[in-house]
């Protein structure tokens, strides 16, 4: 592959000529655009692109799919200015940026507690407008509502239309999501009107200030119906009348017969979301016989990972263009002249576009997306917080193994240190598997026994417990104290390394299945500054491990013995076997457990729904109703007592369609006494009598 940024002017001119000789006009546009994205001399590339784009100028659009940093307005503005200049230099009509691109999305409560950054984003916006001349730019920003007696929230989520050196109009978001990881309405006021309002309404707009003007914006002879993210997710026909809001901004915009819909988005990736988004946008374009241009943010901000994959559907609902997934890109399109290029989705996702919503262990179609979602989450979390290196415990088990591979790929092997921390019950196989993995990945590795720390801690605690017992009763006959001492001793080692060496963060290695069951230790394996796999169930982790062995450049880095090994924390001996306790013996089969989680999260099923329906696990294994009831009882009991653990989980990447990540799901910790089975009416009636 040509390293365009390494070529001098003469070499680049020759490479451009090679491209023009080899490819047709349209393909040459995208080859040269890719060269620009890779850092080639912009003036030489832009000159040739402008010539090639001349026949496509009328209605041409640049989709600026960029990766912002939340709150770093200067950093974000630099990217915005770069792509506005690029669009102008190659002669595009329009350049479109993601939602809230100047501020970075999500920004959460920061704008409320530190309103100065809102004022800053306005100042930057006004200055950016001055350099926007021949091309119209659509730039997302936070708009303050300046009133003495303000009713409602303090801000709008807005898009400014910039051209001819000034702000030409403002579009404000109407539909504000307050579900899953979204919490827009906490600080944003919904727009009282759909479409574009005049520039003079900036910072001075409310329902009594609505000016009667067209909802669409006329740019170089084309009418654009502009919306922001959620505003295009409310089509009653597509969602079979189960919409969240009473209005549909796209339907309102359609009444003015726009030539194209434009949607500025910051929409995180999740399992099954691509299927919904693809079909919905296609439906809208076909329903209104109007092309739709969707520009999405890329990169990760804390728990949310954005896949980019900006796209265009033509007026027949056919996919015309799609940007790369998980990469910054400037994609040039013209929906009126059939100019576009479809870059592939992550491998496997195309198969899911018409997939039914059923539980399956066939994870293959979603594994590359899962891998890239977590990789991007790690990369951006470390880069945007200033950390460079990670340290984690390598137990020789699946969870820490998958984390190690992901960290090595995201940060570079030289920036990852794996520590084997055996106790007196750690098997030789676990130690050798961990060392072999580290060698295969070429990460740093050492072994540090926790035996002494465990013994000293146990002695200190034994003495302390004796004193406490003189005042308190209720001491457990059997406890998990020794198990937890081991897990927390390991965390002490990892945090010690983090404190002693610069730019280093310890990693929490808990997975979703075990977090649901509380099968994780606070200040132990849950302890760390980031939790890469906290939203990945155990069965999917097995599939991901095999996928990485087959699809990474260095094949089979994960020893087969680790994948074949039954998961277990090696914290206690099972009295029945005399060997370290196996997790499934303490919990239930992971295939069954993961389907319980899926049914609750995706189908909202309750106890008796599951008790009286057939699980995938039961197609291969005979399970009595008594055993099934025992597993379900254990699930709800353990889940209820695990709630407080979820609340202190470190930042983690949301991967699944639903999650227990605290940004996605909130439940009172003190709600642990919920009766998930419910009661028959007769029993409720009798209880009420007892109350009297």
> Active site includes 232?
no
Using alpha carbons, list the distances in angstroms from residue 597 to 47, 166, 513, 514.
Answer: 55, 52, 8, 11
Residue 575: which of 450, 478, 453 has the closest Cα? 478
CA atoms within 13 A on the CB side of 565: 24
- Closest by CA to 427, choosing from 576, 590, 582, is 582
Question: Distance of CA 332 to CAs 85, 128, 312, 453, 573, Å?
Answer: 14, 21, 10, 60, 61
Q: Judge whether 229 counts as a catalytic residue.
A: yes
- Do 606 and 677 form a contact (C-beta atoms < 8 A)? yes
Number of Cβ within 10 Å of residue 623's Cβ equals 15
CA atoms within 13 A on the CB side of 98: 33
Q: Which residue from 110, 113, 97, 101 is spatially nearest to 183, judged by alpha carbons?
A: 110
Separation CA 205–CA 689 (nearest Å): 57
Q: Choose, from 189, 229, 372, 628, the residue flagged as catalytic.
A: 229
Determine contact, residues 678/611, Cβ cutoff 8 Å.
no
- What's the CA gap between 317 and 258, in Å, rounded? 15
Closest by CA position to 406, among listed 536, 573, 567, 494: 536
Q: Which residue has the tokens 């974000």?
A: 76
How far, in Å, CA of 387 to CA of 617, rounded?
42
- The H or E element containing residue 11 is helix 9-22
How would you classify the pairing of strands 329-333 and 389-393? unpaired
173 counts as catalytic? yes
Q: CA angle at residue 191 from 188 to 192, to 5 degrees?
A: 135
Bridging pattern class, strands 196-198 and 94-96: unpaired
Q: If you write DSSP's letter for every residue of 579-593 in order, what string do you get?
A: SBPPHHHHS--HHHH
Structure tokens belonging to residue 154: 């303090």
| 94-96/61-65 β-pairing | parallel
Give the tokens for residue 9: 């002017």
Q: Is 568 helix (H, G, I), strand (E, B) or coil?
A: coil
- The residue annotated as part of the active site, out of 154, 173, 384, 565, is 173
**Nearest 5 degrees, angle CA 377-CA 507-CA 645?**
95
What whole-number distance in Å separates Cα of residue 240 and Cα of residue 245? 13
Q: Which residues pair with 504 in a beta bridge?
A: 389
* Radius of gyration from C-alpha coordinates of the chain: 28
Other C-beta atoms closer than 10 Å to the C-beta of 519 total 20
CA distances from 219 to 5, 84, 163 (A): 34, 16, 10
Active site residues per annotation? 99, 173, 229
């Amino acid at each position: 592959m040509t390293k365009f940024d390494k070529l001098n002017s003469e070499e680049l001119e020759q490479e451009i000529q090679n491209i023009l000789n080899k490819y047709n006009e349209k393909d040459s546009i995208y080859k040269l655009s890719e060269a620009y994205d890779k850092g080639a001399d912009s003036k030489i590339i832009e000159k040739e692109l402008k010539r090639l784009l001349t026949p496509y100028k009328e209605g041409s659009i640049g989709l600026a799919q960029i990766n912002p940093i939340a709150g770093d307005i200067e950093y974000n503005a630099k990217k915005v200015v770069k792509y506005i200049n690029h669009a102008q230099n190659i002669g595009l009509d329009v350049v479109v940026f993601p939602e809230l691109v100047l501020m970075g999305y999500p920004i959460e409560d920061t704008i409320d507690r530190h309103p100065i950054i809102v004022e800053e984003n306005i100042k930057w916006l006004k200055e950016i407008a001055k350099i926007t001349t021949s091309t119209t730019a659509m730039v997302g920003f936070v708009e303050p509502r300046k009133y003495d007696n303000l009713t409602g929230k303090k801000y709008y989520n807005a898009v400014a239309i910039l051209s001819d050196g000034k702000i030409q109009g403002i579009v404000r978001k109407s539909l504000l999501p307050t579900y899953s990881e979204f919490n827009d309405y906490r600080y944003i006021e919904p727009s009282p009107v759909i479409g574009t309002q005049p520039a003079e309404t900036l910072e001075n707009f409310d329902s009594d200030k609505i000016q009667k003007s067209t909802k669409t914006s006329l740019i170089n002879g084309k009418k654009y119906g502009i919306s922001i993210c959620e505003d295009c997710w409310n089509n009653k026909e597509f969602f079979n009348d189960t919409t969240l809001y009473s209005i549909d901004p796209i339907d309102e915009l359609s009444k003015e017969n726009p030539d194209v819909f434009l949607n500025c988005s910051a929409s995180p990736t999740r399992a099954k979301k691509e299927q919904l988004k693809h079909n919905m946008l296609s439906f809208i374009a076909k329903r209104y016989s109007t092309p739709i241009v969707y520009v999405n943010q890329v990169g990760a901000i804390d728990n949310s990972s954005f896949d980019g994959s900006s796209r265009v559907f033509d007026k027949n609902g056919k996919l015309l263009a799609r940007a790369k997934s998980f990469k910054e890109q400037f994609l040039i399109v013209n929906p009126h002249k059939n100019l576009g290029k479809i870059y592939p989705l992550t491998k496997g996702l195309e198969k899911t576009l018409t997939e039914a919503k059923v539980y399956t262990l066939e994870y293959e179609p979603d594994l590359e997306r899962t891998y890239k979602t977590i990789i991007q989450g790690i990369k951006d979390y470390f880069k945007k917080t200033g950390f460079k290196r990670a340290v984690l415990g390598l137990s020789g088990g699946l969870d820490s193994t998958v984390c190690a591979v992901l960290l090595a790929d995201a940060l570079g092997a030289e920036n990852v240190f794996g520590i084997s921390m055996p106790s007196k019950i750690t098997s030789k196989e676990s130690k050798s598997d961990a060392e072999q993995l580290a060698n295969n990945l070429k990460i740093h590795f050492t072994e540090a026994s926790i035996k002494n720390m465990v013994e000293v801690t146990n002695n200190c605690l034994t003495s302390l417990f004796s004193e406490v017992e003189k005042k308190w009763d209720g001491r457990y006959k059997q406890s998990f104290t020794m198990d937890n001492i081991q897990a927390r001793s390991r965390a002490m080692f990892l945090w010690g390394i983090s404190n002693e060496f610069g730019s280093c963060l310890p990693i929490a290695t808990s997975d979703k299945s075990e977090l649901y069951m509380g099968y994780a230790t606070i200040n132990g394996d849950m302890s760390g500054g980031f939790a890469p796999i906290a939203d990945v169930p155990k069965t999917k982790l097995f599939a991901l491990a095999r996928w990485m062995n087959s699809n990474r450049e260095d094949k089979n880095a994960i020893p087969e013995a680790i994948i074949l090994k039954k998961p277990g924390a090696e914290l206690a001996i099972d009295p029945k076997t005399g060997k370290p306790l196996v997790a499934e013996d303490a919990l239930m089969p992971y295939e069954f457990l993961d389907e319980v989680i899926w049914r609750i999260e995706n189908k909202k099923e309750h106890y008796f729904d599951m008790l009286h329906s057939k699980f995938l696990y039961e197609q291969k294994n005979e399970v009595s109703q008594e055993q099934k009831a025992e597993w379900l009882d254990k699930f709800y009991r353990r889940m209820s007592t695990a709630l407080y653990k979820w609340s202190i989980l470190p930042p983690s990447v949301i991967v699944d369609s639903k999650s227990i990540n605290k940004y996605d799901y909130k439940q009172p910790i003190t709600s642990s006494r919920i009766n998930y089975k419910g009661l028959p009416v007769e029993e409720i009636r009798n209880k009420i009598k007892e109350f009297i």
